Chain A
Amino acid sequence: MSPVHGTPEDAPPRAIAVAGLGIERGGRTIIADLNFVVPRGEAMLLTGPNGAGKSSLLLALGGFIRPLAGRIDYVGRDAETRPFADVHFIGHRPAIKPRLTARENLQFMAALLGGPVGDVAAALVTVGLSHAADLDAGYLSAGQTRRLALARLLVAPRPFWLLDEPTAALDDEGAGLVARLIDAHLADGGVVIAATHHDLGLAANPESLALVALE
């Protein structure tokens, strides 16, 4: 993969490195011998048809499914914290509770994830939900729910982001929000791996990994 560029001299190394990864679901090999490194400040997009294993790869990277072979390294993670305590995983299920307000949802998620808690009100403004902050989250539309889920990325700062279809249910303006969030995170030295069907419209052209369905 591309060399690390634009890294300040004093910044610690940071990357998601995958070597020889093999994943099996339901007795079927869906990913075999996968190798890549995504360094600090870069994003990688996972593309490919349904069933090619994008979601499974993200689940494996997030530690939810155990790979059959190979290794996954989070280079430069804080060794003091628990595994995955500096990884954000945002999947199809938004982890938003109806009957709590948008603000309460975000506060709860920040407290649950632990670590330094960012500014909840500012995060709601950034994702464009400040007007709905005290509304029962059950009344939010699918797009608004997705925005609220993404706000988690802001209130619990973590260097590694794993995003599964971050623009799903979002309109063009919402997709622009996703691009802004990712761009800001990369500029901050973060690492992003996202599965997507669309071009996210990031500032720098990201690496992309096209997965194919194995037979």
Chain B
Amino acid sequence: MSVETAPPSTGNWFSRLAHPGQFMVWSGKFVWPLAILTTIVFGFGLWFSLFASPEDYQMGDTVRIMYVHVPNAWLSQAVYGLMAVSALGTLVWRHPMADVSMKAAAPLGAVFTALALYTGSLWGRPTWGTFWEWDGRMTSTLVMLLIYLGIIALWRAFDDQLRAARIVAVFTLVGAINVPIVKFSVDWWGGLHQPSSVLRSGGVSIAPAMLTALLTMVVAFTLLFITLQLVRMRSEVRNRRIAGLKARAARSVR
């Protein structure tokens, strides 16, 4: 028998780009262009959603909350997807940048999920007459937020971030397997407790101008996430370097 060791870094473009040092070099060039691009797309998106799209014939102006709500709801899922993929990277390839990406994404995902809930309840007040409805979608988003917060708590509970990454990765994957089950159960439960109709009112047919506004805002929020993720990953790499320097300084003092 031979014991497997860490795979030698193959010389392909991906592993080169993903090396922490290389990452710092190329990602630095992307931060500002991405930030500017995000701002521009947001400008367009806001103009589309506030001025260049019609009111809903039932919901009136409150339909415009959708342009913020839907991108956040999309990101709450997409960010978890990214974390799950990074978790695989941590466990299978033991890649340090996968750890960093996983750690950077968790608070962002939590914030987007919280915003989705917040805008959802703002939307629910005029539409359903209540801030909170134990509707399938809202409930599963709430559970999603709790999972994010649990993951953040788990990260913070560890002193050793290298070990933390592998443990969190295991839990993130367990969560990824469980999220569809949660979603299914909550939908099933919501179906038992209330007749359908609540959320079905809007969205039957969507005007093309509304669709343009929605898609632009989805792109804008996704770009915002990518920019923030990159910045957070860069800070995390720096944090780890500082921790490494401190450990070395402590050893040299003795």
Question: Residues of B at under 8 Å CB distance from A?
Answer: 1-6, 8, 94, 160, 162, 240, 243-244, 247-248, 251-252
Contact = CB atoms under 8 A, between A and B. Distances in A.
A73 B6 contact: no
Interface residues of A, number: 19
Contacts of B8: 69
A66 B94 contact: yes
Contact of B5 (A26, A27, A70, A83): A70
Contact of A27 (B1, B2, B162, B252): B162
A215 interface: yes
A28 interface: yes
A158 to B, nearest CB: 13
A74 interface: yes
Interface string A55-71: 00000110100111111
A63 B3 contact: yes
A77 interface: yes
Question: Which 10 pairs across A and B sit closest by C-beta, in order of nearness?
Answer: A72-B3, A67-B5, A73-B2, A74-B1, A77-B1, A71-B2, A83-B1, A27-B244, A68-B6, A63-B3
A70 B252 CA distance: 28
Contact of B3 (A27, A67, A68): A67
Interface of A: 26-28, 60-61, 63, 66-74, 77, 79, 83, 215
The CB with the most chain A CB atoms within 10 A, among B6, B8, B162, B240, is that of B6
A72 B5 CA distance: 9
Nearest to A86: B1
A72 B243 CA distance: 31
A101 to B, nearest CB: 35
11 contacts: A26-B162, A26-B247, A27-B162, A27-B244, A28-B251, A61-B3, A66-B4, A66-B94, A72-B3, A72-B5, A73-B2
A71 B162 contact: no
A36 to B, nearest CB: 14
Nearest to B160: A26
A71 B247 contact: no
